[in-house]
Every structure is written in structure tokens, then in C-alpha cells.
Structure 1
Amino acid sequence: MLDLNRTMFYKTEFDILALKGQDALWSVVLKIRGWIADKARRSSYRFPCDNATWTSLKNGTRAKAEGADVEMYSSLHIEEGVYTWACRFAENVDLKDGSAPRQWLTEVGFKGRSLEESTFSLVLSYSDRAGFIGPLQAVPGRSIPKLVDYLLKDDALDCTVSGINVKSGPVEVGSENAQEMLGIIANTDRGIPVVFASPGTLGQPLVDPHELHRALGPNALVCYAMGLQAAEAMNSLLEPLRLACFGGAVRVYATQPRVDEPLDHARHRFVAASAIREHGEDYVVDMLRRALAQDVHFWQSMLRVDDVKHLNRESARERRIAELKRRFQDEALEEMLSTEEATEALKQDNELIKEENNQLREEVHNLRARCQSYEAAFAGASAADGEGRLAEIVRAARRLPPATATETARLAVAAFPDRIDFTERGWDSCGECRTDPSVLWAAIHDMCTILHPLYAGSESVDIAREFNSRSTFSLARGEGRMTRKSPKTMASRKDDYQGRDIFIEPHVKSSTGNQKDPNFVRIYFDWDEASEKLVVGDCGGHLENHSTRSVR
């Protein structure tokens, strides 16, 4: 179960091969021992480092530090000589300076395929004491956990993702290796993103590829071109696939590409050179680290200690059943097996109920905190001017994003009452919206802060191009030619607002067109001249067009 009170700091997963045929798990355990020993020396506490303790930790046990609130526990499952292992290393840090105590939690997973081969995973997260009133400890700058660094620097271990070596630094591309890099980028089985930093007009990348590599580590393969000639050699191969990257832009080639599909190029997002010059290098590096090294969906599926314990329970149950089958060969056996299965089912139901209860408690806690935050924001802003009210509400939304689409829409209208509103149909569509509320808030926020000034301004500008260059979302001013030919389809864009007819053909959209993806966004709207507002008529999904021929 995902701990709703925790903040993701870093995640990674890659394959390990012990080159000399040694025990890969023991190699990882020794690296963890060295990593903890270094932490203990720096923080002036003692943690057991003897072989006996760490042999026990490899086999599944618990160990505590002396002089600090630090603990590690592990679990091991063995099946046909193959190890499955996980551990949790918890550090409780109280700086005694009035800030909230913080727990750092490092979770390591090891899925063995043979004695010397495995998949290694790591998630580093932290949580501050719930309900604490006071300042929080500072969040460290972006970095790769030293445990990961130790593994990548071990010459006895081969570390790969989809067969791609992740131990080396960023790869410089040119005419001599452009074809090889194209093969990596276009490989449909590639399970690691590729980040390409193209050179600007002076022949140098606008974002330091080495800084990108230090921030992302084994979560992405970073490549770059030095000089316009080297970039041309790479782009001459990428251009036919609509995957080229020019002029200092940075492009992220998503995993498992399908270059033979006409719209696949849209999945491979890029950061324009103008955005890099406007916001700076750190903006790009932080954005890519957040997207590629702090993906919470990975946390939900990684191997954890509880998963290994479950494997052990299943193995023990199977052994008990096998023993019963050996000892009893009569009708009583069936009854015993039925009772055993029913008991196990009840145990699993009980575990699910406990997990669900814990999750509901977390949700109640977070909802109360969200309500208190919003109440404080509205109460504190009631006597302030418009700008102060807006800033207070936006800060509250960033601390605790809305939980539903309807809540997101209401918060947006409260924060920007003179910039955005919803028709009755628009409010109804919130109930059908499956977009992640934080993603929906980001899209509406960009509409209010970027798109509204473009519509309301007196200057003549290309609104779509200007918005698309400044937002992570895209603006479509209208539907395609074939869609416009269908009166029935275009009729679905008609709506009314305060007694006035509006036509919600323009829409803000995300790069993904998969409506099951929580990052999917489609917000259909019109500019109302009378109120000078962006009026939303639908945010529930795709409206029917020539391609879909169906509504949601």
C-alpha cells in the first residue's frame, strides 16, 4: 500500500549481473553495509558491521543502531536456489531546532533470476511528523543516493536497463555513432528514457549533460551533441521519424517507442530552447528529475518487505498442503484442505481490511488537513486585496492539491473569479473527469495565468503558438477539417453561458490521448467577450470528432 503521508525523493530500478559468477545478493548486501557504515560515521552513531549480523540480515532479520533512532529489517524468500529479498532502512532525524522530526526511509528490492543475476530497485522517501505545528526541515538538493553510486562504480557488477549500460556517463553522439544511437532510440523494447541535449547556435548544449546525468542516474540514458555538425549527423537520422531535436532544445524519448505509428512522435516531449533560456538550466534539470526519478507509480509496484513475507507465507502454506496430501489419502483430506483454504482466504480478507482501514485513516487525516488549509486560506484572504487572496489560495492548492475534479474547478473559480467560469454543462462534466486532480489544476492554472492574458490583451499575437511555447499543455484553436464537415459533431460544441450562446471548439490538451491515463487532459472552452472570461463547457474527456466517432 502506498503511504500517503510520504514524499518521494528518488527511485530507480536496474538489472545487476555479477560478472565473476558470485552471489549477486551478497554483493548488494555488502554494498548496503558499506553505505550504512559511512552514514554511521558521519552521524556519530554505531551500527553493527560484523559478518554474522549481516549474514543474518541477508537471511531476514532486524538490527538497530546505538546512539540514534535508526533501524533496518529485511526478509528473504528462496525458491529453487533463487533469492528474492527486500529491506527497509529507517532513519528518524530530529534536529532539535524547532523543526518537525523527519523519517527517511530507504526501501531496497532484489528480484533474483539466478545466483548472479537480479533486478535491483530502490525508493528513497521521507515523511514529517503528522500534525506538527512549526517549520519543516529543509529538503536536500537533487542527488543520487550513495548506495546507487556504490553499485554503479563496482567493476565486478554489470548494471543495465533493457540491455543498455547505465554505469557510464552521458554519451556524446556524432557521425561515428549516430546510427548506433538511433538503434537505441527506436528500439521498441527499450525500457529506459533517452534524454538528448542538442547544441545551441554556439555549438554547446544549453543544459549541461553531465548535470542531467548526475540528477537522473540510471533512470535515463543522457546523450548530447557538441557542435552543429555532430547534431546534424544525429538529426538526419531522426528527422524521417519526426524525432529530431534542434537549436539547443532538450528532448525526452519515452520508453517502448512505436516509430511506425503516425502519432508516436508526440509522446516524445521536448523542452524548447526559448524555455531553457527563459527559466534556466536548473528548471529543466529539476523538471526531468521530477518526471523520471520521482515517479510515484513505480513505488506502488516495487518489491517490498511485505511482498517477500507474503511469498514466504505462500511457500509455507504449499509445503503444509503437500505434507497433508502425503500423510492423508482419504475423504478427511478434502475437508482439511477446504478448511485450510477458507482460513487462508479469511486471513487475506483480514489483511485487506486492515490495509483498507489504514488507508482510510490516512485519507481522513489528509482531507482534514486539506480542509483546514483551504479554510485558513479563504479566512486569511477575506480581508486582503485581490492579489493577496489569489496568492494565498494558490499556495494552499500547492500544499494540498484538490482531491476531485469538481473540487479543482471550484478552487479555480474561487482563485480566479474574473478569469474563468464553468457552464452548467461544464460543472456536470467534472463528475465524469478521470484526470488526476493535480494535473487538472496545473492545466486550469496555465489557462488562467497564461491563456487568459493572451485573450484579454490588446496586442495581436498567435495565441496558440504563444501558449504552447509557455505551457506544458497544448492549445487547439479548433477541430480538424473532417470534423467541421459534420453538423452533428459540431453541434456538440454548442453551449450557453448566462443566456449567451458560446461555442466550445477551442480546447487545452495534454500530450497523451489515452483517456485511461491519469495525465490525460481535454478542457473545451470559449472566450466570453461580455464577461472577459474563459468559460469551460466540458472537461470530462474527448468530445466526438472525425477520428473517435464516439463521445467518452
Structure 2
Amino acid sequence: MLVYANYLKFVGADAEQAILKAVGAWIKEQIGYGLHPDQLQQDGVYKGNRNGVPSSVQIRTAATEKPTFYTWVLRNSDDNVIGREWICEVGLKSGDEQSLSITLKSEERSTRVGATIVASRPRLVKYALRNIADAAEAALAKTIPGAFLKTIGESKDSYRALRVEVDRRDRKFPIVLVSPDAYGEYLIDPEPLREVLVGLAEVVQIEADFDSYEMKEVLGSHWSAWSGAVNLIYPPQISGFARGHPFRSLDIESWGDSQHERRTELLGWVTNITNIPLLHQRIRPEGVAQLALQRRFTALRKHVADLDDSVLRKEFRTLETLAEEQSDQISGLERERQDLEGEIEKWELEYLRVEESLSEARKQISKKEYEIQAMRDSLAKGGGGRSTIFDAGRLLGIACRAGEPTPHESLEVIEGLFGDKCLILESAFSSALELNMFCFGRRLLDMLRLLVTDYRDALMEGGDNTARKVFGKNEYAAKESETVMSSPDMRRRRTFEYLGKKVEMFRHLKIGVDDDLRKTIRVHFHWDAVAEKIIIGYCGKHLPVPSH
């Protein structure tokens, strides 16, 4: 089983020595004794034990010229599970920059070895990153995801910048979006998470005082996160669409109480996306051995060319021919194996994508069924037993009569005709009863119609900036004034119960600015992106503001 794969790049004059020191410390820990620096860079096999468990490391090198290549393959039995062996394959390419590949996999002797494997990262990654950080002239290459923690939420432009990165077609790594909870705390600490996911994913921290409405307006619900949730945004598919996989706070808390348990679970989700592509980039021991053989014979050929002994020349040419034939055979087999591996990896990756899509679809279906049932319950309870089927004769009567429809009648019409696009809470109907004398009923009815049709459609396609254009300049407001937003009492008056929760509804439609109840009305509503419905919580007189 492939557990972990990574491919890191480093720059700087001290990078190679920093990595070699990390490899030396890691091998000493694994086989029980240290190797001389020269031994680390020469072919050999060394056996030892770790906590009484047998272990070994095989070293292969091609270091006679630049770029130099090294591989270290460590094998050791599992400390606790009989019949399981761990294999950690490490490769280093040293030239103008240092490329370090690390893969960790397990091998079981039979299907009877069934102990669960949890996601983990080899300690060598930690040692290498620490040594690079301590070195005077060494750094992680800027192209490596997770090189530093990114933040959004300080401005609307930060959301736009993330949207560009999400949509980038050549992005090969996932993005992990970490949001704060209601108290400004993070269920998974972003910086330690970034350290665990270096080389695998970009970690983006949402600042504690972010505006969730602005975020959803720019990113959309698919690529947003709030209330302590974490959103795992996949690399773009062939179609260019990047799927988001949100983990809600309840999901994260179910992973365990400790930060380590939560990071481990998320590491498993990330490596499920990245393992196969990164495995394909690894520095292979057999490839290094083949390169070493080719370089050796190239050097010998140059040396023999200076000799006069014709017999020696003839013998060497014979040996060289045989070696080239063997090299061609090895190359052919290696290409064939790589082609087969490439096909397997391609189909495995496609299988994983389909499996993830099916899993997400099942999850969304289950969630939708719950939301539908919850809405039915809410409508039955909060709607006072009203039927959502509007009588056509009554609608015709309202349309033909000379008098204006009342706000309550307008809500009934909208609920009856567009019940699949909106939900009107009892609080809205109650507030509407206070304005039976309102003079502009037909204008209100038309604005409500636009709200649940044109505005809703535009909101789903292009966000609030596009949708607001459905209404005139003085008919719609996306939020309240700063004085209202900063007043707990004013916010409370604009909060309504929906699906058992208190929901603030600052978006509103407006007609008139006078205190005259015959000419002024406000309609406060909420957009439920999951249910894709407009939720109307209030339709009545202008709610109080601090100055009035």
C-alpha cells in the first residue's frame, strides 16, 4: 500500500549538505548506528535493527559527474504487526538545485495482515526541512506548494487572488482552506498543518475577522469555508472544474480531540489525491544504477582510447558491446515497465476521481434529503398550516381588482407560484399583516417576483455583484449601515429563525424612505446556497436604526 509520496526541491549552496545530514541522521535512527558521510554517498548495503526489529538500507549512487544521483532504500518490519514490512525509498538529484523524492509504502505477506494503516509522513521530511531552515544558504524552492502559509480575508482582493489560483488550469496540487469558528479559533492549527503538508498542498488561512458574504460572493459556496470548517479544493479536472470537499466542524471534531489526530486524518485525504502523481516523479534506484553503469563505461572508453595495445582495445570493445546490449535491454524493460506503470497510475487516478465523485454525490444526496425534510417540517410548523398550492381563481381576482394587493397577499402569491425557489417564514407573514394599508402592492409583488426568479438565477451564476443589477438603484441593499451592523440590538431585530437556527438577514429590498406606512416597506431575506432558495424572513415597516 502506498502511504506517502512527495517530491521537494531546494535551492542554495548549502542545500545538498543539509539534505545529506538529514539522511544520515534518519538512517542512524532506523538501523541503530551512523554511517560515515563517504558511506552515505557510495554503493552499499547496511543491516541493523531498530528497537530490536531487523532493518536494512541499500544505497545506490551515480556521483562521478554532475548532476549526481543518490538513492537510499530502507526496509524494516513493523514493530507491532507481524507480516508487515515498511519500505521507504529516498532519492536525491544534486545539480543547480536539489530534488528530493520520498515514498513510503507497506508490503503485507498475505490478506490475513489486516491491521489498519493510518496516514503518516516519514521523519526524514521533518529533518530535511529543519536542516534547510537552519542552513545559511538554503531554502525550499518557491514553486513547491506549502512553502509558506497564505492568508485571505484582509480584503476583497485576497479572495480574488485565491479564485485565480483555484481556476488555474495547470495547478497540480490541492488547496486546503482553513476557517475560524465563531470565537476566532481554528479546529486545526493552520501553521502546523502547513508543515505537515509541505510539498503536497497549499494551506490557506482565513483571517478571524473575515467577511463571509464577501468571500462567498467572490469564491462561491463551493470554494468557501466558515464556522471552523475546512475546504479541500482539488486540482482542476480535465474539464477545468475544481471540486471542493468541505469538512464541517462536526466532521473535524469526530476525527479526535488532539491536533495530531486531526492533522493525520486530513493528511490521509490529501495524500489520496497527491500520492499517484508524485510517485511518478520519484528518483528510482534502478534508474540510478543504470545511469552509474553508463557513466562508468563512458569513462573507461575515454581511458582505453589512450592505450596502444590492440588486443586490449579489441577486448574492451567486445565488453563495451556486450554492456551496451545489456544496457539497451535494461532500457527497453525499464521503458516497458514505466509505460505499464503509467497506464496503471492513470487508471488508478481516474478510479480514485470517480470514487471520490460518487462518494461526494452520495453525501450531497443525503444532505439534500435532510434539507428537504427539514424545510418541509419548517414550512409545516412555521407556515401556520398554509398550503403552498395557490388558488388560480384567487390570483385572477387579485390581478383584476382595482385595489392594490396587500403585502400579505403578495407573499402568498409568491409562495404559491414559486415555492420551489423560495421559503417565506412565518415572521414575514406576521410583519406583512401590519401593513395592510400599503399603497404600492403591485410594485412590491413585482419586486418579490424578480427576487425569487431573475435575482436568484443571477446570484447562482455570477454572485451578488451581478444579481443586484436586477433591481433599480434604490430598490436593493446588500447590507445595512455600519451603525446598524455595530449595534447588537439592531442586529437582533434583523435576525430570524430558520431551520432551528438564528439567521441574520441584512440583505433587503426597499420601497420608500418616509415614516408613512402607506408608502414605505422593507423585505429582509437570506440566500441558502445549499438549498438554492431565497428565504424571506421579514416584510414590513422600516426596522429601527440607531438614529431613528
Give the structure-2-normalised TM-score: 0.50
CA positional deviation for 1:442: 6.4
Contact kept? 1:184, 1:190, Cα under 8 Å:
no
* Aligned counterpart for 1:227 among listed residues 179, 201, 208: 208
Q: Counterparts of 1:114-513 in structure 2 under 5 Å?
A: 114=96, 117-128=97-108, 130-131=109-110, 133=112, 136-137=114-115, 139=117, 141-154=118-131, 155-156=134-135, 158-163=138-143, 166=146, 170-175=149-154, 179=158, 182=161, 186=165, 192-205=173-186, 207-210=188-191, 212-213=193-194, 215-229=196-210, 238-239=218-219, 244-246=224-226, 248-254=228-234, 264=240, 266-271=241-246, 273=248, 276-277=249-250, 280=253, 282=255, 288-294=266-272, 295-319=275-299, 341-349=324-332, 436=350
Residue 26 of structure 2 corresponds to: 35
| Paired residues of 1:206 and 1:281 also in contact (CA < 8 A) | no
Verify the 8 A CA contact 2:90 2:102 in the aligned structure 1. yes
Cα deviations by residue, 1:497-519 (Å, 9 ceiling, x for unpaired) = xxxxxxxxxxxxxxxxxxxxxxx
CA distance in 1, matches of 2:163, 2:361: 37
When Rg is computed on C-alpha atoms for both structures, the one with the higher figure is 2
AA of the residue aligned to 2:125:
V
Q: Hey, what does 2:89 align to over in structure 1? A: 107
Segment drifting more, 54-63 vs 173-182: 173-182
In structure 2, C-alpha distance between the alignment counterparts of 1:62 and 1:148, rounded to whole Å = 22
Question: Contact between 2:30 and 2:55, CA under 8 Å: does it hold in 1?
Answer: no
Equivalent residues of 1:87, 1:109 under 8 A apart: yes
Q: Indicate if the aligned counterparts of 1:86 and 1:304 stay in contact, CA closer than 8 A.
A: yes
Cα pair distance change 1:339/1:107, threshold 3 Å? closer
Q: Give the aligned residue type for 1:17.
A: V
Structure 1 residues 509-520: aligned runs within 5 Å: none
Q: Structure 2 unaligned segments of length 5 or more: list them.
A: 257-261, 377-548
- Separation in structure 2 between the aligned mates of residue 443 and residue 150 of structure 1, nearest angstrom: 36
Which residue of 2 is the match for residue 365 of structure 1? none
User: What SS does the aligned partner of 1:65 have?
Assistant: strand
Q: Within 2, Cα distance between the matches of 1:309 and 1:102?
A: 27
1:65 to 1:105, Cα distance in 2 relative to 1, 3 A: same
Q: Partners in 2 of 1:298 and 1:437 — Cα distance?
A: 17
1: CA distance, partners of 2:126 / 2:85: 22
Q: Count residues in correspondence.
A: 351
Q: Is the 8 A contact 2:222 2:244 kept in 1?
A: no
Structure 2 SS opposite 1:33: helix
Residue of structure 2 equivalent to 1:85: 70
CA contact (8 A) 1:159 1:166 kept: no
- Aligned mates of 1:343, 1:77 — CA distance in 2: 18
CA gap 1:85/1:437 in 2 versus in 1, 3 angstroms: same
Residue-by-residue CA offset, 1:292-347 (whole Å, 9 max, x unaligned): 33513322331021121121123234445666878899xx99x9787765554345
- Cα separation, 1, equivalents of 2:160 and 2:298: 48
Contact 1:175 1:234 in 2 (8 A): no
Query: Does the CA contact (< 8 Å) of 1:100 and 1:136 recur in 2?
Result: no
Between the aligned residues of both structures, percent identity stands at: 15
Cα distance in 2 for residues equivalent to 1:8 and 1:150: 21
What is the Cα deviation at residue 227 of structure 1? 2.5
Instruction: Give deviations 1:513-550, integer Å, cap 9, x for gaps.
Output: xxxxxxxxxxxxxxxxxxxxxxxxxxxxxxxxxxxxxx
- Go from structure 1 to structure 2 and tell me whether the alpha carbon gap of 1:454 and 1:199 turns closer, same or farther (over 3 Å shift): closer
Determine the C-alpha separation between the residues in 2 that align with 1:120 and 1:174.
Answer: 34
Distance 2:175 2:360 in 1: 27
Structure 2 CA distance for aligned equivalents of residues 317 and 152 of structure 1: 37
Q: Indicate the RMSD between aligned Cα atoms, in angstroms.
A: 5.1
After superposition, the C-alpha distances for 1:68-87 in whole angstroms (9 at most, x for unaligned) are 42111111213643322111
Contact 2:146-2:203 at 8 Å conserved across structures:
no
Amino acid aligned to 2:244: R
CA drift at 1:34? 1.7
Contact 2:24 2:35 survives alignment (8 Å):
no
1:59 alignment partner, SS class: coil
Task: Verify the 8 A CA contact 1:76 1:308 in the aligned structure 2.
Answer: yes
2:7 is matched with 13
- Letter of the aligned partner of 2:255 in structure 1? D
SS of residue in 2 equivalent to 1:150 = helix
Check if 1:76 corresponds to 2:55.
no
> CA 1:340–1:327 in 2, change beyond 3 Å: closer, same or farther?
farther
Corresponding position of 2:38: 55
Question: Whole-Å Cα distance in 1 between the matches of residues 129 and 227 of structure 2?
Answer: 32
Please list every run of 5 or more consecutive structure 1 residues that lacks an aligned counterpart in the other structure. Answer: 1-6, 41-45, 360-402, 404-432, 463-552
Shift of residue 176 of structure 1? Answer: 7.5
SS at match of 2:63: strand
Match of 2:452 in 1: none
Q: Which amino acid aligns with 2:250?
A: R
Q: Is the 8 A contact 2:225 2:246 kept in 1?
A: no
Letter in 2 for 1:150: Y
| Residues 441 and 162 of structure 1: CA distance in aligned 2, closer, same or farther (over 3 Å) | same
Closer, same or farther in 2 for the Cα pair 1:76/1:244, shift >3 Å?
Answer: same
> CA distance change for structure 1 residues 164 and 69 in 2, over 3 Å: closer, same or farther?
closer
Q: Deviations over 1:368-405 (max 9, x none)?
A: xxxxxxxxxxxxxxxxxxxxxxxxxxxxxxxxxxx9xx
Q: How far apart, CA to CA, are the structure 1 residues paired with 2:215 and 2:54?
A: 52
Equivalent position of 1:26 in the other structure: 17
Equivalents in 1 of 2:174, 2:2: separation in Å?
Answer: 20
User: How far apart are residue 131 of structure 1 and its match?
Assistant: 2.9
Q: Supply the distance in 1 between the matched residues of 2:211 and 2:365 (Cα, whole angstroms).
A: 38
Residues 3 and 105 in structure 2, CA contact (< 8 A), matched pair in contact too: yes
Contact 2:90 2:101 in 1 (8 A): yes
Give distance in 1, aligned partners of 2:367 and 2:142. Answer: 46
Q: Are the structure 2 counterparts of residues 197 and 232 from structure 1 closer, same or farther at C-alpha, using a change threshold of 3 Å? A: farther
Following the alignment from structure 1 to structure 2, what is the Cα–Cα distance between the partners of residues 150 and 138?
Answer: 26
Match of 1:388 in 2: none
The answer as to whether partners of 2:60 and 2:71 remain within 8 angstroms in 1 is yes
Query: Aligned AA for 1:28?
Result: I
The one-letter amino acid paired with 2:293 is R
Cα 1:159–1:251 shift into 2, 3 Å: farther
Report the alpha carbon displacement of residue 57 of structure 1 after superposing the two structures with TM: 2.2
Structure 1 residue 28: Cα displacement:
1.8
Q: Which amino acid aligns with 2:129?
A: L
Alignment check: 8 A CA contact 2:11 2:141 kept: no
